[in-house]
Amino acid sequence: MDSAQATRLLHEIRDAVLAGERPPVAPRPVIDASWRRMFRMGADPERHDCGALLEQDELEHRRRASALGQVLRTLVGSLSEIIEPSLQIMVVTDADGRVLWRRGSLGGLRQSNGIRLEEGAAWSEHSAGTNAIGTALAVRRPVRVHSAEHFAHTLHTWTCAASPVHDPRDGRLLGVVDVSGPAAGFHPMTLALVTSIARLAESELRERHGRAIERLRSVAAPILCRLGRARALVVDTHGWTAAVTGMAPVDRLPLPKSFGAGPVLLPSLGLCTVEPLPGGWLVRVDEEHRPAPDAPSRVVLDLSGPRRRSIAVSGSAGSWTQELSPRHAELLYLLAVHRNGRSAAELAADVFGDPTRTVTVRAEMSRVRRHLSGVLAHRPYRFSEGVEVAVVGPEDPADLLPRSTAPAILSARYPPRA
């Protein structure tokens, strides 16, 4: 089958699915799942809406805050041989799907303006329907979307290939790198190349982090020597340990949202004194205030805004707040709703629509429980007995975790009508 025949077949598949008929060939699973999300969201199949562009100051703020800016030169240099002589462009977005940077020839940039693939535009699935950027963000893996695989008819002359980029320090999704261009002539190996470039960017970020830890370790060594037998450690701004004295080493110290200089109550250490260092913090344990034996008694899960995801834990030993990743916010919300607990298979079905993805769920829950060991129990996963749990949600249920595509979250946003 040549490319023209394949493109016609994709149009026939999409037309049949939109009409509620049986398609001649089933769409690819990743596309089928994305189309189903579009139907649930009530997306318009005839157009895509990328929303208002970010104001320039907000765009610059997001660029400065993104770790992807550190590896932009690597991304551009690695893809320049593809994008410069063609009408294809390279796009880098943040984890919300907002375009932070793009590069390409004048012709390619001009054509991309026609579909609003420009800096500051929103290309999440919620905004633009099925597309490589938004779908890669939704499924957290590389995706190629060709021609009529796009849900919106206005994108059918385009093909795009995108791969997520994760922060090697904590696994957090930073955004995606994408190559987009006219469907005609788009090379089938582009996705493999984009994926390799994304892994190269993650490798560079990992090396940069290693060098930063080494610099912090050189600063920490004489300071810790002067402390004698005191319990202390030096961590970077993400909590990764550079040096330790008087206590067993840990790879990473969970830092609460309000972390900063002065006295700070840390669940694993008790009351500590924190002092700033170049590139990190000196954390000294107050030996007179060890962690209290009493377990936390109250948890408040704050999901009240589109960018607000945090958990506040309090008890007789004090209180602390922790920011949450989108995935951890989903899991904790589900456990708050199901106080009797959920098995790994049930959470996999809730989050991925696939009860067999238990390995992923167990890995994520292991990370959550490292931060909330006094709050969460397992077998099944649940909030501990005696812990009061409150959820602060948005005023409109449709705004609950707006980036989430988890089936259980979508059901909570749009409950079936009686």
pLDDT in tens, the chain (418 residues): 567 888 889 999 999 999 999 999 999 999 999 999 999 988 899 888 888 899 999 999 999 999 999 999 988 888 887 787 788 999 999 999 999 999 998 998 999 999 999 999 999 999 999 999 999 999 999 999 999 999 999 999 999 999 999 998 878 899 999 999 988 877 888 999 999 999 999 999 999 999 999 999 999 999 998 888 888 999 998 889 999 998 888 888 878 766 778 887 776 787 888 999 999 999 998 876 454 445 567 889 999 877 788 888 877 555 677 888 889 999 999 999 998 999 999 999 999 998 898 988 998 888 887 777 668 888 899 988 878 899 998 888 888 888 888 999 988 887 765 4
Overall pTM > 0.85: no
Name beta bridge partners: 235: 241, 281
Contact 119, 100 (CB under 8 A): yes
